[in-house]
Structure 1
Amino acid sequence: MPSFQGHIYVVTDQIPNWLNVSMPQSQLRVISTQEIMDNRYLPTFNSHAIEANLHKIPHLKEFYLYFNDDYILGSPVFIEDFFIDGRCPVIYGDDRLTANTNLTLNIHKKAMLNTNALLNGLLSKANARTNDSDRRFLPHAPHPLRKSIVEQVWVSKFADTQREQSSHRFRDMNDVHPTYFVSRFLIEQSNACVEQRRMKSGCPLDGQDFCNQVLTNNYSKVTEYFDGLRLRSRMPKFLSINDRTTTNYTYQDIIHWEFQRFLKEMFPQKSKFESKDCTI
């Protein structure tokens, strides 16, 4: 992002050995869960609980971006990809409706359905701007957020839900989906400006800015995927690569090697946040 002048907050309790956090006045700061969550809820292994507390990051600005840890910026991006006119969040939804009962019910989908139930309780309000028929899955994507809206959800309106969710040390079928919740609240209930955009599931053809891919126990599919990316005229702006290989899979090590090779091709130069002696 050419004009980026902000800070990067990495929320984790496990600092990888290649990450250089010793730089004075660095743009990057590691935030432990102890800094944003009540100690009685720790340790936690629930991403839903952590997401519901991200607004407590010290010095977090009003406008910020939230990325999952499997996300890569593959091509140059600009502020308009995230905030229209520098202030209106762009909400990226995919082509699946959360109301589609044919989709497999897993914790991820159940959290969105639980969120819909809370949102439905607000639809009778006079300021509701939509109904529940067009609620789309929130994929792994850049999530532009406004701190004041997040606080309105978790502090002013749903503090009990936030506390209950924070107490779940592992993902729970009673969880709500925090980022989806805030995004839908922004669209349906707030008076703030917002723009909705669609992204396709999977990895569309060359020219698309989104590519969400899952690495599975299929070596030929994995190599086909990486080779397809190499043939593109340019990398997609937003690239999510999620590893779902299993430890007993024969080709797991080779798949991980292919992934590392691809990353080294994409980013041949070390980031200033990587340790100089890093060999990954």
Structure 2
Amino acid sequence: MIDILSYDFMRNALMAGLLASVACGIIGTLVVVNRVVFVAGGISHAAYGGVGLAFFLGLPVLPVTVAFSLGVAALMAKVTFGKRERADTVVGVLWAAGMAFGIILMDLTHGYNVDLMSFLFGSILSVPQSDLWLMAGLDTLLVAVVAFAYRGFLAMSFDPEFAGLRGVPVKLLHLAMLCMIAVSIVMIIRVVGLILVIALLTIPPYLAERGGRSLGGMMTASALYSVLFCLSGLALSYAFDLTSGASIIAVATVWFFASQGLKGRRA
């Protein structure tokens, strides 16, 4: 299997998996702990609007999709903060609107681009070198923001109301969290696609949560789980000629249900 590293596209794929795992570990943990999985799902599907916009304008997909997703995240943050009862409705509307916007723009784009499918179901084997540099920069930004505001995120994650009373800028942190979720989702879309992105954002943090003693420890363990799933999925797809994104999620899903079975036996 070591011969696969002789291919440039496979080395790029491994690096993309590692970079995406950093985002999964850090931001996926915040998604799970703050119980905003549905919001993350809304952002991921709305991001398709950014993909369609990039194709329509003939611009680089990743930067345009990041910018579009940040706009969606900011809108969700503004409407849903402190109004949990309205969150599901707003997320559902933006979810559908983003997808519809992207589809319409693709219809208006002359010609059909085969790369479009890679954003739906992932194409880690086709990640270019330029995207790796952008992913590395985004990872650095995510790590810096979380490290700088770690105590605030910790307080907000476990008791936002009390944190607000103690002077923690909960509203700003909520906005920052959704924006970081948007950035992470766009990165992971290149790995497993927007259809499967939520699984990679939630399964590793869930597994890490059981043995985690701190938020930082949970982030680290989650990132390691993500690395394991990405590498195992890539090896599986190479060995059996399977779709890489689906293979990664299949490995994560099997691990998830296996851990649930072991947990049930011990209980």
TM-score range relative to shorter protein: under 0.3
**Larger relative CO (CA 8 A, sep 6+): 1 or 2?**
2
Q: Which has the larger radius of gyration?
A: 1
Q: TM (normalized to structure 1)?
A: 0.23
User: Taking structure 2 as the reference length, what is the TM-score of the superposition?
Assistant: 0.24
- Whichever structure has more helix as a proportion of its residues is 2
If each structure's strand is expressed as a fraction of its own residues, which one has the higher value? Answer: 1
